[in-house]
Every structure is written in C-alpha cells, then in structure tokens.
Amino acid sequence: MPSPLLELRDVSLSFGRVHVLKGVSFDVFPGEIVALVGDNGAGKSSLIKVVTGVHRRTGGEITFRGRPIAVTSVRESREMGIETVYQERALADQQELWRNVFVGRELTTVAGFLDIPRQKEETRRLLREYMGFTSEAIDIDTEVKSLSGGEKQGVAIARALYFNAELIILDEPTSGLAVSEQRKVLSFIRGIRDKGKTAIFIDHNIFHVHDVADRFVILDKGRVAAQFAKHEITRDELIDMMVELHNKGAIVQ
C-alpha cells in the first residue's frame, strides 16, 4: 500500500457554536479518485475549504505528501499542488481562453514582460494534450463565454493538470449542466487518473460518482458515516444508503 497523498485526522471546523465538521478522518491515495458524498449541509464543501485554505480548521491534523500542513490561503494550497474546480467561477467569462489559463500565473520573458506568444502556444498545447481538442475545434482567442459548460470545466481541469496539481478537488463540477455536457466533464475527470494524478470529486449524482470514483467517503452531519472501495458496494446499495441517511436526518430535524 503506498502512503497517502492526503491524510485527514480528526479534522473539525466550527463557526462559533455551529460545529460543521466533527472529527473527520480519511485518506486519499495517489492516483485514485475519491468521491465525497452526503446530503445538503453534510459539510463536504466546508471540508474541502479547510484543505484549500479558505477556512482555518478548529482541530485535527492534515498531512499532504507526508508533511503536516496548515494552509492559510488558496494561493498557498495551489503552490503545494492542490487545485479546486468549482461549478461556477471556474473561468472568467469575459476573457479569452489563453488569458484564463494563465491568469495570476502569467508567463514572462527574461526581461520580465508578459510573454503573450508563449502563453498562447502553451494554451494550444494544453488543449491538445490535456483535452484532446484539435486547434480547429476550439480557438484560444475566443472569449470563454462562448464555450459550453462542460468545455469550461474541461479547461479548468486541464489548467490544473498543466500547473502540475497533484490533487484536484472538484466540487459539484457537473451541476447545472446538460446531460451531454455532464458526460464531457466525467470524461475529463477520468483524464485526471489517466495522467496519474489524484482527485476528490463531490457530486450529488450517485450515477456519476459510482461511474467515476474508485472509493466513496460518505459524510453525514460533519462526520464520516462510512467508506467503501468501489468493489465493496453497488451503485444501488450506495443510493439506498444515501436515502436512508437523508430520511434519518429528516426525522431528527
């Protein structure tokens, strides 16, 4: 068994008196896609925000590549090799595709000027190598708003791979997309594994989750309720478990 890429030990998060995460522990191993599933409000997004430095955890320990980390900003987590792709805000609509790829991480010439030709060339390469797009199918000079939702997600994932992210976190990357676009996103996620990288994938659609992920971590009211490798649970069993947790929660409330 390889050592985990990411280890969460007893991670907790509170906002004042609201305990959002209550001692969450699980591992993510290199090269696997781990799905984080759970009802609305279970704490999935909060957990990834702790990992990416948006929220400061109130307890527990996080280890990345064997070293304890205390991330305090998104920039810091990016520098460590952790990238997040959200459903919205994945890309800036008003900008050309090539600008979006390098925003905040511009390539410069030796003299320190923006190296636009190289950024464009690298964008072309990224589309070809990471997305399988031909240069005719998609133009690096077009504004991002003319891309489909699935393509935007694809660019965001390709950008993360280009900048050598070891761990890509996807928080509901398919929500709000047409079925054909969702399918594209799922195939981009499979591409993450093909490139030998690792992902945490959050999605409410168990069909997507069961299709793409190698392992499932079920979060329920801020705790890990169960974990399964893909061969340990069928899709229907996973759906039944989610429904059961949902109904239990509904009775309590």
Ligand X SMILES: Nc1ncnc2c1ncn2[C@@H]1O[C@H](COP(=O)(O)OP(=O)(O)OP(=O)(O)O)[C@@H](O)[C@H]1O
Binding site for ligand X (CB under 6 A): 15, 18, 20, 38, 40-46
Q: How far is the CB of 128 from Mg ion (least distance, A)?
A: 33
Nearest to 100 by CA among 80, 79, 117, 123: 123
Phi, psi (degrees; rounded to nearest 5) at 28: -125, 120
Q: Would you say 197 and 189 are in contact if contact means Cβ atoms under 8 Å apart?
A: no
Dist. CA 109–CA 94, nearest whole Å: 25
Which residues lie below 8 Å from residue 243, measured CB to CB, with a gap of 6+? none
- Which does residue 59 touch among ligand X, Mg ion, none (CB within 5 to 8 A, set by kind)? none
Q: How far is the CB of 42 from ligand X (least distance, A)?
A: 4
Q: How far is the CB of 3 from ligand X (least distance, A)?
A: 28
Amino acid at 43: G
In the complex with ligand X, the residue whose CB is nearer, 18 or 111, is 18
Q: How far is the CB of 177 from Mg ion (least distance, A)?
A: 16
Based on the shown chain and the rule CB under 5 A, indicate whether residue 45 belongs to the binding site for Mg ion.
yes
Rg over CA atoms, the chain: 19
- Which does residue 38 touch among Mg ion, ligand X, none (CB within 5 to 8 A, set by kind)? ligand X
In the complex with Mg ion, the residue whose CB is nearer, 119 or 174, is 174
Residues near Mg ion (CB under 5 A) are 45
